[in-house]
Structure 1
């Protein structure tokens, strides 16, 4: 799993016997103990650990909730109420699962913006980055399916809107819609299918996460300076240096998570979802969960149904093309003064799209969404290629150590053992 040397030496005879037949402990040690990480990593690099923690929370709470959930249009809503009222700590499991999805997306959006700012998608990390985009797509599918399962008003109408949108896809759209419906409209077979897929996809996410971590340990971590590890003084062992930082950041994030569970459990949800699904009554304003709102705004910015679907999916797919659209040889935006300004405009546009997604599709809101959508795609298709060609970066530090201490200064303390970092960690 790791491309660098393994420094683990088993002590006991049993450990030596086991290691010679299945070097599992050595694999864990080389990947999560002695693995060299750049010494200048900041707290934005802790969100990977936070995401893994929340994936575990979502899987554990999801399995427990599945024991009490009834996937049918007539029983789904009541089974959720049964979980909340009759199952021991069912309210805690349900609120942890629902708010955990939101916290999951908070962490993943910070993770994505960090990648885009520090150029973590650049060679040799293209596959690592693309695997991250695949995880994001699977997360979106899983979250949408989970949002429909309580079978309240917003769940039912959200499922109806999205499945009708999918029907606009040429050739295969009607087939996809009928497979999801399981009939001629959204109903009990739909709930059953959504429940099955919602239960399956997190395990697929876990599998891709393993590949993602594997790819990370092959290429090594990027860092705020965007320069490679050149000597043992540029890096420190993963444990305890990165481990302590990851644990601290995760605990702080969990405190925020706990605040939502115990004090504001329904703040990020929609009140209409506490009303049983009624096909005869359409809500005044159908909106998805907050983490889908930017893409919902893009979908509604185009008058054409098919055009909106194409743009909505393209908004995610274009993220995977960033390694080839960015022509700059410098990774970190810290040393790219022009791109850095455009990046913060891009972040503001993403937040504005999220706000517009919650507004009615009329008047000035639609015009603003169209402008923001145009800039969203322009950032990738125009800003990234042109900035790389015409921008003059500021001077990069000579090494990771120099970026921490300043030029000409020495550092005392632990570093990685000589030779511990292999060739992949010296690549640009």
Structure 2
């Protein structure tokens, strides 16, 4: 079949034959597979990897495919999935700063060209007399042996919409190494699948965005429960957990004496020190209360042997936080900035983990006597001048050396609490 060289513009034709190719029935099976993907809960990596493999299996000679989409994540702005025949899927995440400060390399790419010119399709032959290597990336592809390259943009709002950059579409490129490139039937098959692929990707992207947002604002444990159906006020369960509570020292004075932007930067650094240590050790950050951090380390009742290792992780997170603070404060002192100081309380007990609030506005958190005791215990870190305090219940099975500080009354708690402090190599 004679090949035409479609150079697409928004709404333009690629010049492929109007009739379905010989592989039409087989391509139909790939289309049905994509419908099934849309109805299931599938990672977008699996969907794209499966699409590329299915296309190869029905005779479309793919050697490379790439899918780019924008997500909603506190650290990641966009994602690029690259598939290569015989190698599978590779993933690259791009931060918000990388996307906001558009690199010169991206500005010279086919993707940037198709977006800024609001194109839906673009094709470039990479070999032979019709080769058009008008982008640096295409020169690289040609040098690697690719012979034909097709880029498609699908908007989730309207066709050929560049609004995909705000999370409402995908960009897909296809490349082959077959001599002579793609046939018209190959291109017709790829375009036939394009919108079905976009639908399947949209489902996966929106599901991941939902999880990203819930985990960002609720934490992983709470978000998992909400997604499993615990959405009504009162939904929840009784959990056994290590409770972590930390509070920054002198926050009122600092907030009044520092420029607001400097205080906000200091507060975020404090959260990176404390909550960051909790997260790295497997804890679940529930909420930030002003300048306090409330977190838990769930202890499975069905696995009693896990109780001590989990308490060890919580204690390690507390000592990690102190080490981080020491390192940060050296730099802050050199810059004439106030030091970041805080107290940490560690307790263990049963907590009610669930939805509280009003029916229209809920918070998923922990409540109960054990939580209150942890909060009151942290207040003693100022009185006893210790950066970390723990209850005897928490410390009972640990090999770490603790200093017994005696029994102390906790405000609002009926019985005195036996308070201990870990013996630290470098006391703060």
Please give the TM-score of this superposition, normalised by the length of structure 1: 0.24
- Report which of the two has the higher share of helix: 1
Computing the radius of gyration from Cα coordinates, the structure with the larger value is 2
Q: Which has the higher contact order (CA 8 A, sep 6+)?
A: 1
- Report which of the two has the higher share of strand: 2
